[in-house]
Every structure is written in C-alpha cells, then in structure tokens.
C-alpha cells in the first residue's frame, strides 16, 4: 500500500510541478525518493518536526503548490493536530495528510505508534475529507484523486505493506461513493475500509461456505460519507455488518448506525470495531486485532 502510494505520487509529480513530497523522518518507499534527483525542492524531509511539516505545507499551498505530507498516522495527524485544524482546515488548503500504518499496522511498536482513533479526529474537522483505501490498487486511485484536488485538505489513511489485491475486477473507484467489491444477493453485506478488508474477505468466504450469500463493499471515503449509498444497503439487505480497524466512536460504524436510525432501517446491523482501550500486547497486526476481539472466527460466530 505504501509503495502504491509512493509510486503513484512519483509518476504524478513528474508531470505536475505543483506536487511536493514532504516526509517527517520516514522514507515513503517505492519510487518517490527519486523525486529528490529530479526536483530537489519538491522532495523534502523535515525530520522529526511534524508541526513545522504541516505549517510548511500550508505555506506552500498558499503559494499554489500541492503538498503531500506523510509519516506514521500518529505523527502526521495526532502530534500536529492543531496545525492540521488551523493551518489546513481553517484555511481550506489543498494539502494531503497521509497517515501511514494507521490502525494497528505497527503492531510491535506499541500504542504510541498505533492510530486507532484517527478517523474520529479527522472526520470531526470542517473542510477535511477522509479516504481509507483497502488495497494497493485502490490506494493508487485515491492518491490520484488527492493529487488532482483543487479543494481543501484530505486525510489519506494507509496501511503499511503486504496488503493483498482485493479490488481487481471491481467497479471503478469514485470518490464519495461506496464501492462494490463483491455483490451477491441481499442476505448479508459487509462494509469495511482499509487493510482490514482482507479479514472481511476471509469472513465472507467462511459465511459463503455456510450457505450465506455475501456482498462486500469498500467504504473508502469516510468523509463525505456516501449516506445515500449506505441507506440503500441498509434498506436492501437482511443483515449488514461493519468491520473496522478503528474504535467504535467516530468512524464508519457509528455513522452507519446513525444512518440506520435516520433511514428507519429494518435490517440486522452489527459493528466489529477496536475496543476503547489501549492494548498492552505485541505480535502481528492480526494478533493485535484478535486481542481487540476481531478475528474471522469471532466475527463469523457473532454473525451467526
């Protein structure tokens, strides 16, 4: 996912002199570091100075450039949060804030490096738009959208590396619309976003083995959320489940429940989210998700 972002941005930056890459002591991976040779002024490493990173990006955007800032999500969004709010959102500037390794991707590094509530923060900000692609191909499409952006700021939530391709053959990516990856009947619909989509696919496979018809959609745009599309899902399916690598408040699950109430949905609605806790455990991302109660076994058991 990180390489898909970096390679895509590099290709765009070659053609668009407004694109600036600003990292905070993190290598973006892929081809993007080559930009330093092509256009040294448009590939910056500010070091461990995240507040200045946001401010510098704001200043560049005020002068007509299109900066992308990136580091681990905890440091690109949490550490400089007031700068994101005042410099980017208040001034409504076309800067993309990339949160790398969001959720529990940095599973061995502990809570200081895990962004389990970033969507609640990002979605709360006026003018901010929020994207959470689920695989490398969708990441490339989201990156292209961000680069063509002439509006305000975007928070682009990414995983880390090694995510499987899940969107091959799916309908086209459209900003602000949920995207059907699998569509089969009106029994059970799984709504997910980001790297945990891989687990949603595992759940879908198991439920199919149990005789259920399962559809899967990527809700890659968290803000503005496709409220009409989600209301349609809630109205059409007997069961809907949200699977999300984020706490239950402020992310997709809470908003789907809100839409269910507003649309007087009659379906069964379940949410599988991270606990409202800091987990003192290490290991692989899947092991940490399991510590939060999220695994194909637990979700399938709850879906019944």
Contact 190, 241 (CB under 8 A): yes
Minimum Å gap between C-beta 95 and other proteins is 10
Segments of 6-64 assigned E as strands: 19-23, 43-45
Minimum Å gap between C-beta 84 and other proteins is 11
Record the tokens describing residue 55, joined without a space: 């401010």
Of residues 63 and 168, the one with the C-beta less far from other proteins: 63
Contact 289, 272 (CB under 8 A): no
Single residue of 9, 13, 32, 54 touching other proteins by CB under 8 A = 54
Cα gap 53→266, rounded to integer Å: 47
**Is residue 90 close enough to count as binding other proteins by CB under 8 A?**
yes
Minimum Å gap between C-beta 81 and other proteins is 12
**Is residue 175 close enough to count as binding other proteins by CB under 8 A?**
no
Residues in the chain: 304
**Is residue 91 close enough to count as binding other proteins by CB under 8 A?**
yes
Record the tokens describing residue 29, joined without a space: 């991976």
The strand pairing partners of 242, in sequence order, are 191, 271
* Ranges within 9-28 binding other proteins (CB under 8 A): 17, 20
**Is residue 263 close enough to count as binding other proteins by CB under 8 A?**
no
Single residue of 38, 41, 205, 277 touching other proteins by CB under 8 A = 41
Render 199-249 in DSSP notation, one character per residue. HHHHHHHHHHHTT--EEEEE--EEETT-HHHHHHHHHH-SEEEEEEEEESS
* Ranges within 61-80 binding other proteins (CB under 8 A): 61-65, 67
Record the tokens describing residue 177, joined without a space: 């619309």
Region of 1-9, 58-66, 124-132, 158-166 interacting with other proteins (CB under 8 A): 58-66
Cα gap 60→108, rounded to integer Å: 35
**Is residue 211 close enough to count as binding other proteins by CB under 8 A?**
no
Contact 97, 61 (CB under 8 A): no
The strand pairing partners of 70, in sequence order, are 23, 98
Q: What long-range pairs does 108-111 form, CB within 8 A, spacing at least 24? A: 108/282, 108/283, 110/282, 111/278, 111/279, 111/280
Region of 85-93, 216-224, 256-264, 275-283 interacting with other proteins (CB under 8 A): 85-93
**Is residue 191 close enough to count as binding other proteins by CB under 8 A?**
no
Of residues 60 and 154, the one with the C-beta less far from other proteins: 60
Of residues 80 and 159, the one with the C-beta less far from other proteins: 80
**What residues line the site for other proteins (CB under 8 A)?**
17, 20, 39, 41-42, 44, 46-47, 49, 51-52, 54-65, 67, 82-83, 86-87, 90-91
């Amino acid at each position: 996912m990180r390489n898909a972002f970096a390679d895509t941005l590099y290709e765009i930056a070659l053609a668009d002199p407004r694109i600036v890459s600003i990292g905070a002591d993190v290598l973006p991976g892929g081809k993007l570091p080559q930009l330093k040779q092509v256009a040294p002024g448009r590939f910056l490493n500010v070091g461990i100075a995240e507040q200045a990173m946001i401010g510098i990006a704001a200043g560049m955007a005020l002068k007509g450039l299109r900066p992308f800032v990136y580091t681990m999500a905890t440091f690109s969004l949490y550490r400089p949060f007031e700068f994101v709010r005042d410099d980017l959102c208040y001034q409504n500037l076309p800067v993309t804030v990339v949160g790398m390794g969001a959720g529990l991707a940095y599973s061995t590094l502990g809570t200081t490096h895990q962004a389990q509530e970033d969507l609640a923060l990002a979605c709360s900000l006026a003018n901010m738009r929020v994207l959470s692609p689920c695989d490398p191909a969708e990441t490339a499409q989201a990156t292209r959208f961000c680069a063509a952006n002439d509006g305000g700021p975007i928070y682009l939530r990414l995983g880390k590396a090694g995510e499987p391709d899940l969107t091959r053959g799916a309908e086209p990516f459209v900003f602000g619309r949920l995207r059907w990856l699998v569509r089969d009947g009106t029994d059970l619909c799984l709504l997910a976003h980001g790297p945990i989509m891989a687990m949603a696919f595992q759940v879908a496979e198991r439920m199919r083995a149990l005789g259920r018809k399962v559809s899967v959609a990527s809700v890659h745009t968290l803000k503005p959320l496709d409220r009409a599309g989600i209301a349609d899902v809630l109205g059409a399916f007997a069961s809907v489940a949200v699977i999300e690598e984020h706490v239950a408040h402020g992310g997709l699950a809470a908003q789907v429940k809100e839409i269910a109430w507003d649309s007087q949905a009659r379906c069964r609605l379940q949410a599988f989210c991270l606990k409202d806790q800091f987990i003192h455990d290490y290991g692989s991302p899947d092991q940490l998700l399991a510590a939060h109660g999220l695994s194909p076994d637990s979700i399938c058991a709850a879906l019944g």
